[in-house]
Structure 1
Amino acid sequence: ELKGTNTIVSYPVFLLSGLLFWNFFSEATNLAMGSIVQNFNLITKVYMPKYIFPVSRVLSSAINFVFSLVALYAIILFSPIHVTWLHVFLPLDMAYLLIFAIGLSLVLSAITVFFRDMFYIYGVLLTAWMYLTPIMYPIQVIQNSRYNWFMMPLMKINPMYYYVNYAREIIMNGNLPNLHANMVCLGASLVMLAIGLLFFRWKQDKFIYHI
Structure 2
Amino acid sequence: MAIFTDLRESRELLYNLTMREVKGKYKRTALGQLWSLANPIALMLVYSFVFRFVMKIEPAAGDPSGLHIFALWLMCGLLPWSFFTNVVNGGMGVLVGNENLIKKVYFPRSALLVSNSLSWLYSWGIEMAVLLVAIIVLGGSPYLYVLPAVVLMALLTLFATGVAMLLSIANVYFRDLQYLMGIIFQIWFYANPIVYPQSLVEQTSSTLGSFHGVTVFDVYRLNPFYHFIEAFRNLLYDNRMPDLSTSVIVVSLSLGAFLIGWRVFDRHQARLAEAL
Partner secondary structure for residue 54 of structure 1: helix
Answer yes or no: is the 8 Å Cα contact 1:169–1:177 preserved in 2. Answer: yes
Partner secondary structure for residue 114 of structure 2: helix
Deviation by residue 1:148-205 (Cα, 9 ceiling, x = unmatched): 7564233322121111110100111111123222211010111111110111122223
Partner secondary structure for residue 133 of structure 1: coil
Answer yes or no: is the 8 Å Cα contact 2:166–2:264 preserved in 1. Answer: yes
- Specify which of 61, 72, 75 is matched with residue 13 of structure 1: 72
* Counterpart in the other structure of 2:183: 124
RMSD of the alignment, in Å?
1.7
* Counterpart in the other structure of 1:198: 263
* Counterpart in the other structure of 2:223: 158
Partner secondary structure for residue 105 of structure 1: helix
Structure 2 CA distance for partners of 1:117 and 1:148, relative to 1, 3 Å = farther
With normalisation by structure 2, the TM-score equals 0.71
* Counterpart in the other structure of 2:15: none
Q: Is residue 107 of structure 2 the alignment partner of residue 42 of structure 1? A: no
* Counterpart in the other structure of 2:83: 24
Partner secondary structure for residue 175 of structure 1: coil
With normalisation by structure 1, the TM-score equals 0.91
Q: Report the Cα distance in structure 1 between the residues aligned to 2:219 and 2:268, rounded to whole angstroms.
A: 30
Q: Is residue 199 of structure 2 the alignment partner of residue 140 of structure 1? A: yes
Q: Is residue 162 of structure 2 the alignment partner of residue 103 of structure 1? A: yes
Q: Report the Cα distance in structure 1 between the residues aligned to 2:209 and 2:111, rounded to whole angstroms.
A: 41
Greater mean deviation of Cα atoms: 201-210 or 162-171: 201-210
Q: Which has the larger radius of gyration?
A: 2
Structure 2 CA distance for partners of 1:147 and 1:46, relative to 1, 3 Å = farther
Instruction: Give the C-alpha shift of residue 82 in structure 1.
Output: 2.8
Instruction: Tell me the number of residue pairs that the alignment of Structure 1 and Structure 2 aligns.
Output: 207
Q: How does 1:43-122 map to 2 (within 5 A)?
A: 43-122=102-181
Task: Extract unaligned runs of 5+ from structure 2.
Answer: 1-58, 63-67
Answer yes or no: is the 8 Å Cα contact 1:34–1:112 preserved in 2. Answer: yes
Structure 2 CA distance for partners of 1:148 and 1:186, relative to 1, 3 Å = farther
Greater mean deviation of Cα atoms: 197-206 or 115-124: 197-206
Answer yes or no: is the 8 Å Cα contact 1:10–1:81 preserved in 2. Answer: no
Structure 2 CA distance for partners of 1:193 and 1:147, relative to 1, 3 Å = farther
Deviation by residue 1:54-104 (Cα, 9 ceiling, x = unmatched): 121011101111000122123213424333322331111111101101100
Answer yes or no: is the 8 Å Cα contact 1:55–1:105 preserved in 2. Answer: no
Q: Report the Cα distance in structure 2 between the residues aligned to 1:21 and 1:151, rounded to whole angstroms.
A: 24
